[in-house]
Amino acid sequence: MSILNYIKERWLHLLFLFLAFFFSFLVYRLDNSFSIRESNAAYILMGWGILFFIYLMIDGFILHARVSRFGLFCRTNGSSEEAEAFFYPTDRTHAELVRELTAEYERYKADIETKSAEEMEFITKWLHDAKVPIAAARLILESQEDKLPDDFYRNISAEIFSIEESILQVFYEMKTNRFFDDYRIARTSTRKLIAQALKGYSNFFSYKKLGISVEGEDFEVLTDEKWSSYILSQIISNAIKYTTEGGAIEITTEKEDGKTSISVKNQGKGIPTQDIERIFHKGFTSSEDREGAKATGYGLFLSKKLNDLLGHSLTAESKQNEYAVFRLTFYDHDTLYHRN
């Protein structure tokens, strides 16, 4: 406890002692009939000063010990046994209050956790149930492809895919809160990650007449295959969305200095300079309205969040009105999350 805090805590006691000393000094000075030698008065004042200093030291030490002990009691959430062990009645009363508040908090937390688990179970079931009618709708649409106008088929297919992506976003966001219960770090190939990430996007390449090239060797990386495939799929989705019709997307794999990178480069408007540092922020959309209301700004945020949990690196660079490159980098050494 600092000297200033001690003075704030004990100001009334200190004021009383000061006034008592000052009153005694006034009586000695103003009462001419009061007989005492000046040397004796000096000894008395000196004795009072020494006793006052000793009082301050002892009182400060005791108060510091009380505060420290009570702080430890609070940090350990307290117990009835510890509360009874306090010597000072005030400390014991406060300790009992902390114990009651702790018990109330534990009951509240248990209730919240129970409700949260029930809600999570319901949402998880809903997500799995929603996949069935969506898959059925896609099958029905594909069965009628020859009978439907191309634009109609393309638009409905794109909307169904958007619903699928939205459901996946909810699913993976939920999983991030329980990440360490649902991940498996193992060695997998970059080609496999890319192939899984590209699933479901073939129609979009066809609709927008986009070219695609996959370059570089196949390397092994240490990661969670499911999570990294999802991160790549979000990057590819972003690339498709912002590549102009007739443009091209390049996926390149490189290995250098103990790290392996998968780069996704798209042609198009690129990313404005003022936005490059904020594209992974939650809810961020471009200041130049890249696709406007269709962009939620959540896909890249979730990708970065998952990437950080995996211990990888996700970066972006761009030249406005020419291209944007997103680079997912894996490190060869075992990460904090590696399991044999």
pLDDT of residue 340: 38
pLDDT of residue 43: 80
**Helical residues (DSSP H) of 261-331, grouped into ranges:** 299-310
pLDDT of residue 306: 85
Q: Structure tokens of 119?
A: 């809600």
Residue 167 vs residue 252, higher pLDDT: 252
Q: What pLDDT, in 10s, does the model give residues 296-308?
A: 567 888 888 888 8
pLDDT of residue 218: 92
Q: What is the mean pLDDT of the chain?
A: 81
In the chain the domains, ranked by start, together with CATH numbers, are: 3-75 (no CATH), 188-331 (3.30.565.10)
For residue 18, pLDDT over 50 is answered with: yes
Cβ atoms within 10 A of the Cβ of 140, count? 9
Q: How confident is the model at residue 293 (pLDDT cuts 50, 70, 90)?
A: very low
The predicted model gives 130-138 an average pLDDT of: 83
CB-CB contact of 289 with 269 (8 Å)? no
Cβ atoms within 10 A of the Cβ of 68, count? 11
Q: How far apart are CA 108 and CA 312, in angstroms?
A: 37
The predicted model gives 129-154 an average pLDDT of: 84
Q: How confident is the model at residue 249 (pLDDT cuts 50, 70, 90)?
A: very high
For residue 177, pLDDT over 90 is answered with: no
Q: What pLDDT, in 10s, does the model give residues 51-74?
A: 888 888 888 888 888 888 888 887
The predicted model gives 75-91 an average pLDDT of: 71
Listed in sequence order, the residues at least 6 apart from 135 whose beta carbon sits closer than 8 Å to its beta carbon are: none
Q: Which among 332, 84, 65 has a CA at the least distance from the CA of 223? A: 332
pLDDT of residue 337: 47
The predicted model gives 164-176 an average pLDDT of: 79
Q: What pLDDT, in 10s, does the model give residues 197-213?
A: 998 788 888 888 889 99
**3-state DSSP assignment of residue 92:** helix
pLDDT of residue 297: 63
For residue 192, pLDDT over 90 is answered with: yes
Q: How far apart are CA 308 and CA 314, in angstroms?
A: 8
For residue 335, pLDDT over 60 is answered with: no
